Amino acid sequence: MSQQYPALLVVVPLLSAMIISIAGWVNKRWCFPIAVAALGVAACSSVGLLLQVLDQGKVIYLMGGWPPPMGIAYYIDHLNGLVLPVVSIVALLNLIAAKKSIEQQFPDKIGPFYSLYVLMVAGLLGIVATGDAFNLYVLLEIAALTGYGLLAMGEERAPLATLNYLYMGTIGACFYLLGVGYLYIVTGSLNMVDIAGILPDLYQSKAVLAAFIICMVGVWLKMAFFPLHAWLPNAYTYASSAATGLIAPLVTKVMIYVMIRLMLTVFTPAFVFSFLNVSDAIVWLAVIAIVTGGVLALAERDLKKMLAYIIVAEVGYMVGGAWLGNRDGMTGAILHIVNDALMTLCVFLVVGNIVYKVKSYAFENLQGLFRKMPFTMGAFVIGAMSIIGVPPTCGFFSKWYLITGAIAAGHYAFMAALLFSSLVSVVLFFRVFEICFHEPFSDNHGHDHHSEAMDEAPLSMLVPLLIVAATLIVVGLYTGVIVNQIIQFAIPASLV
């Protein structure tokens, strides 16, 4: 059984998605338990895989027993061994938290929604687990197409915003496919490890250079890296809270994983940092991404869009950290994949709870929330502290590694951008806190008792949120263990 974890990871959610859509016709109440069971299996397999990786190093799984380079192999090493549990657990927690809001928002579309949700998780887990460049493209499109479906079930403006995302996402995926095609021309292989073995003799080739640039542009489009970020804010803002809770924490982070995987495994640091002379320019782009994301977030008057622009800035953190070209920067980027997935989940679950109760996320409707929803807002404070980077929350530690990396690389602009971003986050979140502390104006001074009452979100939404908030602190406290036991082995020794 434990040898089959990499297959279970993808196959169980994939098949469950079909079963859910059939079950949805028979009885809608079956959909949720099946979805939870499927993601539960995926979460257990991913944790099991992480333990196997810690125990014996790399896990190689041959799909159908076909050896590479002909067959598709799933390679689980320390890098994706760390990302897999994050993806599956974030998806599971959000699924449980989203049950009530799905029933509230789309009572007649429960079956299709869960089916798309589980299928998307299958795609995301597959992207992280696979060791085959073309297989990655297919899973990328599975995750993207289901994502369009989920995002489009939202407010009135959601279909248009999603269509814009679809254009950009398709161009991104096509660019990646084109890059893989160039790699296939020069190496004749699609297996990542196999390609990495053949490439060193071909570093001079213009086709390899073109492949690398095209792949990178495609992946940046998909992760909304600065000049290519325009699709993200609208698409995430107008979607339902159940969909953003899955997509906002995971899609950008998984794409950053893909970028790091391409940089470290396929093209290797020797090519990316020593042979190409572009890392400085890309870190500068990241600097602009962080600053612009922060400034655009300041201009927003509703909570969800503000958080969407913070994601744009956070993508800048990770891309910049990965391209600093030293061990600390890369450690910070990988650690931030974990932390940012958790803290984005935390704040978007808070938005989900607020939308469930208040039916709005505009700033003017948030008044008095600290009294009305104390637990939700408590979790929001922890999530906000983590995004700002206050110890002992986990956001502090990844920012610390990123800043250390920036100093070691002598890239002080990146350091300044990180500090600027922290300051902007302070302004952003304390403005929200102030509004939420402020009591709404009431006409009936005589009997305020009606508005005094605590009106907290249901337990099924609150418990996952509090678990995530607690995890933010626990992960922060165990940062040393994560870095020394896992991330250290995820980065090749050639990168110092």
Partner 1 sequence: MTDLVSTIIAKYNYWIYITLMMIGLYAMIAKNNLIKKIVGMSMFQTAIILFYVSIGVKKGATIPILEYSHGHGHDTQLVVHAADYVNPLPHVLMLTAIVVGVATLGVALALSIRIYDRYNTLEEDEILTQIREEK
Residues 365/303, Cβ–Cβ less than 8 Å? no
Is 478 one of the binding residues for partner 1 (CB under 8 A)?
no
Is 160 one of the binding residues for partner 1 (CB under 8 A)?
yes
Is 209 one of the binding residues for partner 1 (CB under 8 A)?
no
- Closer to partner 1 by Cβ: residue 22 or 160: 160
Name the residue with tokens 């053949």: 198
- In the range 300-329, which residues lie near partner 1 by CB under 8 A? none
- Closer to partner 1 by Cβ: residue 69 or 85: 69
- Closer to partner 1 by Cβ: residue 218 or 249: 218
- Closer to partner 1 by Cβ: residue 167 or 412: 167
- What the block records as the tokens of 204 is 């001079």
- The single residue among 13, 149, 320, 329 that binds partner 1, judged by CB under 8 A, is 149
- Closer to partner 1 by Cβ: residue 57 or 67: 67
* Closest distance to partner 1 from the beta carbon of 171 (Å): 7
Sign of CA dihedral 454, 458, 463, 466: negative
Which helix (DSSP H) or strand (DSSP E) does residue 74 occupy? strand 73-76
* Closest distance to partner 1 from the beta carbon of 188 (Å): 9
Report CA-CA distances (Å) from 365 to 336, 359, 427. Answer: 32, 9, 19
**DSSP assigned state of 62:** E
Is 112 one of the binding residues for partner 1 (CB under 8 A)?
no
Instruction: Kindly give the interhelix angle for 412-437 and 279-298, rounded to the nearest 10 degrees.
Output: 20
Residues 342/312, Cβ–Cβ less than 8 Å? no
Name the residue with tokens 């996952």: 464
* Closest distance to partner 1 from the beta carbon of 163 (Å): 5
- The single residue among 55, 108, 156, 434 that binds partner 1, judged by CB under 8 A, is 156
- Closer to partner 1 by Cβ: residue 185 or 278: 185
Is 148 one of the binding residues for partner 1 (CB under 8 A)?
yes
In 242-345, which ranges are E strands?
Answer: none
Number of residues that bind partner 1 (CB under 8 A): 26
- In the range 409-428, which residues lie near partner 1 by CB under 8 A? none
- In the range 169-198, which residues lie near partner 1 by CB under 8 A? 170-171, 173-174, 177-178, 181, 184-185, 190
DSSP string, 315-334: HHHHHHHHHT-SHHHHHHHH
For 441, phi then psi, to 5°, come to -70, 125
Helices (H), 324-477: 327-358, 369-372, 374-388, 394-409, 412-437, 449-452, 459-477
- The single residue among 48, 159, 378, 392 that binds partner 1, judged by CB under 8 A, is 159
**DSSP assigned state of 204:** T
* Closest distance to partner 1 from the beta carbon of 190 (Å): 8
Residues that bind partner 1 (CB under 8 A): 134, 137-138, 141, 145, 148-149, 152, 156-157, 159-160, 162-163, 166-167, 170-171, 173-174, 177-178, 181, 184-185, 190
